[in-house]
Chains A and B, each alone.
Chain A
Amino acid sequence: MEQLIQFAISVLSLGGTYALLALGLATVFGLLGFLNFAHGDLMTVCGYGLFFMLAAGVPFPVAVLFAVALAGLAAVAMERIAFRPLRGRSPMSLLITSFAISLALHVSFQIFISPKSKPIPIPSYFSGYMTFGDVFISKAQVMSIIISFATLFGLNAFITKTRIGIALRAAASDFTVARSMGINANKMIMLAFGLSGVLAGVAAVMWIAQRGAVFPAMGLTPMVKALIAVIIGGLSNPKGALYGGFLLGLLEASFLYILPDQYVIYRDAAVLLTLIAFLMMRPNGIIATNAEPMR
């Protein structure tokens, strides 16, 4: 029972973080048809925002809000400066541009901040363990579950209950028709980037809470995980990204429990092999869509 609870918490905590990251990627992919490889660097932007705010003595909750907003603004700036001038080019051009942005940000962090890790002090309610009877549970994992589910519910309410959210989903479904209904392309693309930045920011806070540091390449690993999640979930469909994120979390947690201690280092390989087998059976992922991105 104890192990089952701990396993469920691991799945929900890992899956929630991956789902948020994958949703951010899928939101932009749904409109523009490319995977923004600089998405992981938005996490790093959030991490450094958090680091500098905490260093300036700002209380942790306020610093988190600021850092998440900073990631959202950085995503919007990325769109305005780098992607908008390339509007209408092939998704491949946009993908290559996103590689360039990622590299530029990575090098900038190394030069202007530090190539070394910067420690981030995590408050007590985010670190250590709590006990429920005989079960020890990491506070960071519990917070991560609460935050990721609150964000997912908030996002769901935004895209289903507000007119602008419905417009965003309509644009992701068929951008050309949505535009002919009067839905503004620039606003939708900015909104998609802003949302993807905020989601990356929230994921960054949960990532950092479990590791306590930020460094220039921090976003790379979670970016790769998000990439895997959207591909297995089905590109361009938010539900697919969500399912992909949780499936990835489930597989990682499962192999962690299944594999004997000496083989745990092969966890990622085992996860990837399973996913390759899955994609051979369902090449379009969990949910295949025919969404038409903007050209």
Chain B
Amino acid sequence: MKNTLLNVDQLEVSYGPVKAVQNISFQVNEGELVTIIGANGAGKTSTLNAIMGLTDISAGKVEFNGNDLAKSSVEAKPKLGIVMSPEGRRVFADLTVKENLIAGGITLPKAKCDVRLDEMVKRFPILGERVNQEAGTLSGGEQQMLAIARALMIGPKFLILDEPSLGLAPKIVTQVFELISELHQEGVTILLVEQNVKKSLAVADRAYVMELGHIVREGRAADLSQDKKIHEAYLGAA
């Protein structure tokens, strides 16, 4: 039995009178790739923001390695080994590729940050070629690679990916999912939030389906990808 790294228990997130996330519970075990799928407005990003401490939790709790995450600030998350690649990539547009990576590894000692920077540049040759280019001038796919590389700088225990394929060309989407699969095989624990249900279920171990703030289905990704209702709701056109 693998150790539970993230435990979300009866989580609720509200924005004024609107309940974006209602009483959801799920776990991510060490080394797993778990995906949360669902349509726009299902509450996926609100769930991730609650885990990161970017949104207040209205009720319930979020534990990481047994520690209550509500007690740690947003800034403390990388020290716990948690890092998120946000929706829309959100690279630091005015900073160069290299500076973006340094910002990602800012919590590391300088020497270690330099080593990780070299590793990232080797792992992502396209970033290596553009190391002194401003991130805002990169293509969407390159920015996504940079956002993931920036998140990998600290060598995270737990990587959160929010809609990494959003707005990318199909060829680039395939590359992004290949990268996610590689990271999973290397042992990185990943929580992936996506609207690309087919590709998410293809790479994940387990999946949760969210609708209107609730988790409505859960199970092994392989089983859910064969599920008739999931097919009808999300894969019909795929």
Contact = CB atoms under 8 A, between A and B. Distances in A.
B86 A178 contact: no
Given A166-B95, A166-B99, A181 B90 contact: no
B94 A178 contact: no
B103 A166 contact: yes
Contacts of A182: 75-79, 106-107, 154
A170 B92 CA distance: 6
B54 A180 contact: yes
B125 to A, nearest CB: 23
B176 interface: no
B138 interface: no
Given A178-B103, A181-B103, A173 B77 contact: no
B108 to A, nearest CB: 9
B75 A183 contact: yes
B99 A177 contact: no
B106 A167 contact: yes
Contact of B74 (A166, A169, A179): A179
Contacts of B102: 163, 166
Interface string B58-75: 000000000000000011
Nearest to B89: A177
Interface size bucket, B side? Answer: 20 to 34
A269 to B, nearest CB: 35
Contact of A177 (B92, B110, B154): B92
Interface of B: 52, 54, 74-79, 83-84, 86, 90, 92-95, 99-100, 102-104, 106-107, 110, 113, 150, 154
A160 B102 CA distance: 11
A210 interface: no
B86 A169 contact: no
Contacts of B95: 166, 169-170, 173
Nearest to B86: A177
B78 A169 contact: no
Given A177-B86, A181-B104, A182-B107, A237 B94 contact: yes
9 contacts: A163-B110, A166-B103, A167-B103, A169-B92, A177-B90, A177-B92, A181-B150, A182-B106, A182-B107
Residue among A163, A170, A183 with the most chain B CB within 10 A? Answer: A170
A201 to B, nearest CB: 26
Contacts of B154: 182
A170 B100 CA distance: 8
